[in-house]
Amino acid sequence: MTIKLKISAAIVSLALAVPATAKTMIVVLPEDYSGPREELVRLAATEASQLATADRLLFIEAANRKQAATVVRPQGRKAANPAWVRTKIAEQFAVVRRAIEGLPPSPPVGAIPANLHIPEALGDLGRNLLPSLPEKSADILLIGNPLYFDPRDGRFAMADRYYPSDAHIRARPSETPYGTAGRETLLAGATIHMCMPRDEFVTKDHEEAVRRFWSLWIAAQGGRLGTFGFDLAQCFERMRKGEASGQEAFTLTPGTKLEMLRAHAPIPAVLPATTDRPGEYFLHDNAPISTTPPAVTSGIAWIGLRWKVPADIDLYTRRENSRPWLYFANTQSPDGRFNKDHRSATGDLQFEFVEFLQPIDLAKAQVAINLYEGNLSAAPEGQIRVWFDRKIYEAPWKIAATRGNGGAPPMSGPNWITIDLRKVVGLPSP
């Protein structure tokens, strides 16, 4: 479900009524919250109590597109009385307290925790609120999950270690929810602070990939990333101060494909004592390669591809010819997951690979390899590795072409080869 936050006319009117020197702070609350609520209430109340005369503190619920609470420091003759000011701020903040206390403790079935619908939420603020502010700027604190998830369309979900390639940022919004083409000034004047109530990352590399993507995505729309962290108190403080120091500057990578990449899962430093269970250890250089054919022809399989030339070579797999291919442009399906699209040589330790979640029949499963991009002096070659029936198998492959064809169909000709998994595991073909 796509969430579109609706900024009320009352907030816009309030924004237009204050001096141009005012400061606006916006807190976006997630759909659900499992963190310590009293701490969140206390920190939010502290920010409300420290408002300067013309400043505004807005609270928006990602789950309720019609509700927004605004806290301003009261003015007038009675404002000289601190007790009266505290009472009036407390009256305004009571709406915020109820909103925080009313957040569900967990997400609905099939959703991710603390979803914020970041592209839609910030897009709505950029279109409807930022232009109405006299100062044309705001510090926006997102409290919740930095991973985007739309239950209606799993192609773009940042779940299971997936994150978008840089090509999403350059694309049109009609192509991807992360598209920014035509929105180069949408977040101009906005400093975005992203604060996570819990660690959603599998590894530091996963965290860095997500941080990098949002930093580039925000910058592509004229804003800046001010905070990316887990310390709620620090996030509120940096929002109040408009602080953006300490954030690394990133550069968009040219020529990337529109795809969802996947961060590697932690791989143990040493091989496990048994290979009975699938895992990324099957990609290790020192993984034990079996020469004994499997005892069965149907089961769960993991398939990996490696090469050492500066070319973009792609792996395509599917359970049978009636199922969709798993590859760089279709990374997730009920059948399995495509884990990584390497744009150049994978080196000694990494494979581009697919993990099947459903059993495959070796006689029906299909595997194809394509030279997508490259201008080589010799035909590229590499290895395919398969985890199946608790064993690891490996076989060489070689493509005849030396120049990429962009994955153009049909899957035939010198740019394509097909792999018979039965041969890889040592079984005879029919």
Contacts 24+ apart (CB under 8 A), 92-95: 92/48, 93/44, 93/45, 93/48, 95/59, 95/69
**In this model, does residue 281 exceed pLDDT 60?**
yes
- What is the model's pLDDT at position 1? 41
Q: Could you tell me whether strands 224-229 and 190-195 are parallel, antiparallel, or unpaired per DSSP bridges?
A: parallel
- What is the model's pLDDT at position 368? 97
Cα-based distances in Å from 135 to 5, 15, 59, 236: 21, 9, 19, 20
Q: Find the largest Cα–Cα distance for the chain.
A: 93
pLDDT level of residue 268 (50, 70, 90 thresholds) = low
Render pLDDT for 286-300 as a digit per residue (tens, 0 to 9): 889 999 999 999 999
> Token pair of 206, please?
């996963």
Q: Is the preceding peptide bond at 410 cis, omega within 30 degrees of 0?
A: yes
pLDDT level of residue 95 (50, 70, 90 thresholds) = very high
Distance in angstroms (rounded) separating the CA atoms of residues 308 and 380: 8
The answer to whether the CB of 335 falls within 8 A of the CB of 379 is no
The answer to whether the CB of 395 falls within 8 A of the CB of 371 is no
Least confident of 24-38, 120-134, 259-273: 259-273
> Token pair of 297, please?
């022809």
Distance in angstroms (rounded) separating the CA atoms of residues 363 and 123: 48
- What is the model's pLDDT at position 146? 96
- What is the model's pLDDT at position 267? 63
H helices, E strands: number in the chain: 8, 19
- What is the model's pLDDT at position 68? 65
59: left (phi over 0), alpha (psi -120 to 50) or beta: beta
> Which amino acid, one-letter code, is at 218?
I
Render pLDDT for 377-388 as a digit per residue (tens, 0 to 9): 999 999 999 999
| Helix or strand holding residue 123 (H, E) | helix 118-128
Distance in angstroms (rounded) separating the CA atoms of residues 56 and 75: 13
Render pLDDT for 391-403 as a digit per residue (tens, 0 to 9): 999 999 999 999 9
The residue ranking higher by pLDDT, 68 or 412, is: 412
Q: Over the chain, what is the mean pLDDT? A: 88
**In this model, does residue 117 exceed pLDDT 90?**
yes
Terminus-to-terminus CA distance in the chain, angstroms?
A: 48
- What is the model's pLDDT at position 270? 62
pLDDT level of residue 65 (50, 70, 90 thresholds) = low
pTM of the model: 0.75
Render pLDDT for 119-160 as a digit per residue (tens, 0 to 9): 999 999 999 999 998 888 999 999 999 999 998 888 899 988
- What is the model's pLDDT at position 192? 98
- What is the model's pLDDT at position 9? 44
**In this model, does residue 271 exceed pLDDT 70?**
no
- What is the model's pLDDT at position 335? 94
Render pLDDT for 157-215 as a digit per residue (tens, 0 to 9): 998 889 999 999 999 999 999 999 999 999 999 999 999 988 889 888 899 999 999 99
- What is the model's pLDDT at position 153? 85
**In this model, does residue 312 exceed pLDDT 70?**
yes
**In this model, does residue 348 exceed pLDDT 60?**
no
Render pLDDT for 49-60 as a digit per residue (tens, 0 to 9): 999 888 999 999
> Token pair of 367, please?
């595997």
Distance in angstroms (rounded) separating the CA atoms of residues 313 and 415: 10
- Nearest to 353, CA basis, from 315, 382, 390, 322: 315
Domains of the chain: 9-260 (3.40.50), 266-424 (no CATH)
